[in-house]
Amino acid sequence: MNASAAWTCRGDNKLIYEFLPQDTSRQGNPVLEAQRVLSAARKEQRMATFLDVGCGAGTSYDIFSNGVDRLRWIGLDITDSQEVAERPQRELPFCFFDGVHMPLADNSVDVAYSRQVFEHVRYPERLLAEVHRVLRPQGWFVGSTSHLEPFHSRSYWNYTPYGFCVLLREAGFRCVQVRPGIDSVTLIGRRFLSYLRLAGLFDRFFYVESPTNMFMEFALRLIAQPASRRNAIKLLFSGQFCFIARKQ
């Protein structure tokens, strides 16, 4: 039996395959995914509304609004978030909510964005339903959340990629897709090094292929595994994963 056949016989979780990209197995980056769909939204209309769910200090405003016209940025967060408490004074359109009910009209948002927030959300199914409600038809929901990540900052959950896809679909989203983020070994190592004030050494791996992901990519390509299989294996060991979904 050759190496490729051996991988097939060991049987990945086939349920996840319908949510995996077929074109590439690169490590996902929610910022790049959001920029991509936001660019498309701006081409379709005069003004695009961008909602950051769990915006914290509002850093996404600088990422997505810097030098970009035809964009209405809205930051949304709970009042007792640690990141909100440490937020610098800025004249930005920040809104507060109770963690579930958004103070926004139906069908009023083009792109909703949520980077590493849903592991801290007490009622994720209810909030996902709210995200779906405020998005316009054909609007996009893009972000990332935790899979195998240590407890941090009042985190309630770690999601499996398949489980989060099911939540998105049950909330009414379609075109659901997930990509592996930073691998769990690197992420756990970064957490350990934070106690030595050395976590910054690993920060770049949130944006470029992390060490274990690089190793798996090389090994899986060596035995001629397709992009979907490479994504599936990397997701098994991901510390975080990216998601993208669309409202029909």
pLDDT of residue 70: 78
Between strands 71-77 and 240-247, the pairing is: unpaired
Q: How far apart are CA 50 and CA 216, in angstroms?
A: 35
pLDDT of residue 245: 98
pLDDT of residue 9: 39
> What number is the average pLDDT over the span 119-131?
97
> What number is the average pLDDT over the span 156-167?
97
Using the Cα atoms of residue 84, residue 187, residue 214 and residue 238 in order, give the sign of their dihedral.
Answer: negative
**Three-class HEC string of 185-235:** HHHHHHHHHHCCCCHHHHHHHHCCCCHHHHHHHHHHHHCCCCHHHHHHHHH
pLDDT of residue 41: 75
| Mean pLDDT score across all residues of the chain | 90
Name the band, by pLDDT with cuts 50, 70 and 90, for residue 123.
very high
> What number is the average pLDDT over the span 77-85?
80
pLDDT of residue 165: 98
Q: What is the pLDDT of residues 141-154, one digit of tens each?
A: 999 999 999 998 88
Please give the domain boundaries of the chain with CATH numbers for all domains: 3-247 (3.40.50.150)
Cross-strand partners of 143:
114, 243
pLDDT of residue 6: 43
Name the band, by pLDDT with cuts 50, 70 and 90, for residue 81.
confident
Q: What is the DSSP letter of 100?
A: S
pLDDT of residue 5: 43
